[in-house]
Amino acid sequence: MGKKKEKTYISFTEEMQKDYTVLVPNMLPMHFTLIAKVFRNFGLRAELLETQGQHIKETGLKYVHNDTCYPAILVIGQFIDALQSGKYDPHKTALILFQTGGGCRASNYINLLRKALEKAGYGYVPVISMSLAGLEDHPGFHMGVKMVHRLMYAVLYGDLLMLLRNQCRPYELRRGESEKLALAWTDRLAKEMDAGAKISYKKVQENYRKIISDFEAIPRAEQKRVRVGVVGEIFVKYSPLGNNNLEDFLVKEGAEVTVPGLLDFCLYCVYNNMMDTEKLGRNKVQYPIWKTAYRFFTKKQNDLIEVIRECSDFDPPTPFAHTVSLIEGYIGIGAKMGEGWLLTAEMLELADKGIKNIVCTQPFGCLPNHICGKGMMRPIKERNPDINIVAIDYDAGATAVNQENRIKLMLANHSD
Amino acid sequence: MNYSLGIDIGSTTVKTVLTKDGTVVYEKYERHLSQVRAKALEMIEEIRPMIAGERFSVAFSGSAGLGLAEASGIPFVQEVFATGEVVKRMEPDTSAVIELGGEDAKIIFFDGGTDERMNGSCAGGTGAFIDQMATLLDLDADEMDRLSLEHMKIYPIASRCGVFAKTDIQPLLNQGAKKEDVAASIYQAVVNQTIAGLAQGRKIRGKVLFLGGPLYYCRGLRERFKETLGLSDEEAIFPEYARYAVAMGAAIYAEKTGYETEIDALTAKIRESLTAVVSNRLPSLFENREEYDLFHERHAKADVARRAIESYEGEAYLGIDCGSTTTKMVLLSRDKEILFSYYNSNRGNPVEIVREQLGIIYGLCGDRIRIVGSAVTGYGEELIKHAFGVDLGVVETIAHYTAAKYFLPEVDFILDIGGQDIKCFRIRNGAIDSSMLNEACSSGCGSFIETFARSMGYEIDEFACLGLFSPAPVNLGSRCTVFMNSSVKQSQRDGATVEDISAGLSVSVVKNAIYKVIRAGSADELGEHIVVQGGTFYNDAVLRSFELELGREVIRPAIAGLMGAYGAALYSMRLTNSTLLSSNELREFHHTSTAAICRGCTNHCHLTVNTFTGGKKFISGNQCQKGLGLEKAAEEIPNLHEFKRSYLTGLSSRQPKTVTRGTVGLPLSLGMYELLPLWHGIFSSLGFSVKISKMSSKQTYERGQFSIPSDTACYPAKIMHGHIEELVAEGVDAIFYPCLSYNIDEKHSDNHYNCPVVAYYSELLRGNMDSLSSVKFLYPYLNINSRRELCRGLLSALSELCPELSAKEIRRAVRRGFAQYGEYMASIRREGERSLAWARKNGRRIMILAGRPYHADAEIGHGIDKLATSLGFCVVSEDSVCHLAEPAPVRVLNQWTYHARLYRAARYASEHADTELVQLVSFGCGVDAITTDEVRSILEQNGKFYTQIKIDEITNLGAVRIRLRSLIGALEQ
Overall size of chain B counted in residues: 973
Closest chain B CA to residue A379: B767
Nearest residue to B400 via CA among B374, B380, B427, B373: B427
Report the distance separating Cα A230 and Cα B863, nearest Å: 44
Partner-chain residue, chosen from A107, A409, A411, that has the shortest CB–CB distance to B893: A107
Q: Which residues are registered as beta bridge partners of B413?
A: B426, B530
Please say if the pLDDT value at position A391 is more than 90: no
Half-sphere exposure of B306 (CA within 13 A, CB side): 8
What is the pLDDT, as a whole number, of residue B163?
58
Please enumerate in sequence order all residues whose Cβ is within 8 A of that of B65, keeping only pairs 6 or more positions apart, or say none: B7, B8, B9, B10, B76
**Strands across the sheet with B874-876, in order?**
B874-876, B846-850, B915-922, B947-951
> Looking at per-residue confidence, does B203 or B480 come out higher?
B203
Last residue of a domain, one of A141, A169, A188: A141
Selected for mutation to probe chain A from B518, B718, B763 (highest A CB count within 10 Å) is B763
Report the distance separating Cα B544 and Cα B286, nearest Å: 8
**Strands across the sheet with B530-533, in order?**
B431-437, B422-428, B413-417, B530-533
Size of interface A-B (CB pairs under 8 A): 229
Last residue of a domain, one of A141, A173, A197: A141
Give the domain CATH number at A119.
3.40.50
Q: DSSP letter string over A100-125?
A: ---SSGGGGHHHHHHHHHHHTT-TTS
- Does one domain contain both A157 and A55? no
CB spacing of A398 vs B764 below 8 angstroms: no
Model pLDDT for residues A248-275, shown as the tens digit of each residue? 999 998 999 999 999 999 999 999 999 9
Helix, strand, or coil here: A335? coil
- Does one domain contain both A190 and A63? no
Q: DSSP letter string over B185-232?
A: HHHHHHHHHHIIIIITT----SSEEEESHHHHH-HHHHHHHHHHHT--
CB spacing of B519 vs A3 below 8 angstroms: no
Nearest residue to B99 via CA among B268, B271, B214, B256: B214
Selected for mutation to probe chain A from B741, B785, B934, B938 (highest A CB count within 10 Å) is B741
Closest chain B CA to residue A105: B927
Model pLDDT for residues B758-787, shown as the tens digit of each residue? 999 999 999 999 999 999 999 999 999 999
CB spacing of B764 vs A370 below 8 angstroms: yes
Partner-chain residue, chosen from A331, A364, A411, that has the shortest CB–CB distance to B121: A364
Q: Is residue A415 part of a domain?
A: yes
> Looking at per-residue confidence, does A128 or B111 come out higher?
A128
Query: What's the total number of domains in chain A?
Result: 3
Distances (CA, A) of A348 to A262, A356, B200, B576: 17, 9, 21, 77
**Domain definitions of chain B by residue range:** 309-407+570-589, 413-554, 641-826, 832-972
Report the distance separating Cα B279 and Cα B232, nearest Å: 50
pTM higher than 0.95:
no
Q: Which residues of B touch A279 (CB under 8 A)?
A: 781
Q: Which residues of B touch A375 (CB under 8 A)?
A: 709-710, 763-764, 767-768
Please say if the pLDDT value at position B375 is more than 70: yes
ipTM: 0.91
- Does one domain contain both A128 and A164? no
Report the distance separating Cα B323 and Cα B340, nearest Å: 18
Phi, psi angles (nearest 5°) of residue B117: -125, 140
Report the distance separating Cα A289 and Cα A63, nearest Å: 39
Partner-chain residue, chosen from A5, A110, A338, that has the shortest CB–CB distance to B889: A5
What H or E segment, with its residue span, contains residue B510?
A: helix B498-511
- Does one domain contain both A53 and A153? no
Closest chain B CA to residue A57: B477
Model pLDDT for residues B661-689, shown as the tens digit of each residue? 999 999 999 999 999 999 999 999 999 99
**Cα end-to-end distance, chain B, whole Å:** 82
Model pLDDT for residues B886-934, shown as the tens digit of each residue? 887 888 888 889 999 999 999 999 999 999 999 998 888 888 888 988 9
Mean pLDDT of chain A: 90
Helix, strand, or coil here: A88? coil
CB B863, CB B957: distance < 8 Å: yes
Nearest residue to B908 via CA among B780, B794, B783, B748: B748
User: CATH homologous superfamily for B413-554?
Assistant: ATPase, nucleotide binding domain (3.30.420.40)
Distances (CA, A) of B155 to B196, B408, B610, B622: 17, 44, 17, 14
Report the distance separating Cα A64 and Cα A114, nearest Å: 10
- Does one domain contain both A110 and A153? no
Q: Looking at mean pLDDT, say which of A301-310, B452-461, B608-617 comes out highest.
A: A301-310
Instruction: Please name the residues between 779 and 808 in chain B that touch chain A, using a CB distance below 8 Å.
Output: 779, 781-783, 785-786, 788-789, 792-793
Closest approach of A249 to chain B, Cα-based (Å): 13
State the amino acid at position B751 in one-letter form. N
**CATH of the domain spanning B832-972:** 3.40.50.11900
- Does one domain contain both A379 and A239? yes
Helix, strand, or coil here: B389? coil
- Does one domain contain both A113 and A245? no
Residues spanned by the domain of A384: 226-261+322-416
CB spacing of B483 vs A65 below 8 angstroms: no
Report the distance separating Cα B475 and Cα B466, nearest Å: 16
Please say if the pLDDT value at position B355 is more than 80: yes
Closest approach of A210 to chain B, Cα-based (Å): 40
For B341-348, which contacts have Cβ atoms below 8 Å and span 24 or more sequence positions?
Answer: B341/B559, B341/B562, B341/B565, B343/B535, B343/B561, B343/B562, B345/B138, B346/B173, B346/B174, B346/B322, B346/B380, B347/B138, B348/B136, B348/B137, B348/B138, B348/B173, B348/B179, B348/B182
Q: Which residues are registered as beta bridge partners of B8?
A: B15, B61
Report the distance separating Cα B498 and Cα B503, nearest Å: 9
Closest chain B CA to residue A4: B750
Closest approach of B249 to chain A, Cα-based (Å): 14
> Looking at per-residue confidence, does B801 or A365 come out higher?
B801
Q: DSSP letter string over B626-668?
A: GGGT---GGGGS-BHHHHHHHHHHHGGG---SS--S-EEEE--
Q: Out of A150-159, B94-103, B163-172, B304-313, which region has the weakest mean confidence (pLDDT)?
A: B163-172
Helix, strand, or coil here: A50? coil
Helix, strand, or coil here: B338? strand
- Does one domain contain both A390 and A350? yes
Report the distance separating Cα A340 and Cα A336, nearest Å: 4
CB spacing of A3 vs B747 below 8 angstroms: yes
- Does one domain contain both A173 and A306? yes
Closest approach of A66 to chain B, Cα-based (Å): 6
Q: DSSP letter string over B537-600?
A: GGSHHHHHHHHHHHTS--B--TTGGGHHHHHHHHHGGG-SS--SPPHHHHHH--EEEEEEE--S
What is the pLDDT, as a whole number, of residue B123?
57
Instruction: Please name the residues between 673 and 732 in chain B that touch chain A, using a CB distance below 8 Å.
Output: 709-710, 712-713, 717
**Strands across the sheet with A357-363, in order?**
A255-258, A226-232, A357-363, A388-394
**Strands across the sheet with A127-130, in order?**
A45-48, A21-24, A93-98, A127-130
CB spacing of A397 vs B480 below 8 angstroms: yes
What is the pLDDT, as a whole number, of residue B632?
47
Whether B516 and chain A come into contact, CB under 8 Å, resolves to yes
Selected for mutation to probe chain A from B11, B66, B78 (highest A CB count within 10 Å) is B78
Last residue of a domain, one of A118, A141, A164: A141
- Does one domain contain both A257 and A334? yes
Q: How confident is the model at residue A314 (pLDDT cuts 50, 70, 90)?
A: very high
Helix, strand, or coil here: B825? helix
Q: Do B413-554 and B832-972 have matching folds?
A: no
Q: Which residues are registered as beta bridge partners of B106?
A: B99, B118
Q: Which residues of A touch B493 (CB under 8 A)?
A: 401
Q: Which residues of A touch B759 (CB under 8 A)?
A: 103, 335, 337
CB spacing of B763 vs A372 below 8 angstroms: yes
User: CATH homologous superfamily for B309-407+570-589?
Assistant: ATPase, nucleotide binding domain (3.30.420.40)
CB spacing of A337 vs B115 below 8 angstroms: no
Q: Is residue A7 part of a domain?
A: no
CB spacing of A412 vs B80 below 8 angstroms: yes
State the amino acid at position A329 in one-letter form. G
Partner-chain residue, chosen from B486, B782, B792, that has the shortest CB–CB distance to A401: B486
What DSSP character marks residue B753?
B
Closest chain A CA to residue B440: A67
- Does one domain contain both A79 and A123? yes
CB B711, CB B755: distance < 8 Å: no
Q: Is residue A282 part of a domain?
A: no
Closest approach of B346 to chain A, Cα-based (Å): 32
- Does one domain contain both A304 and A409? no
Mean pLDDT of chain B: 86
What is the pLDDT, as a whole number, of residue A2?
37
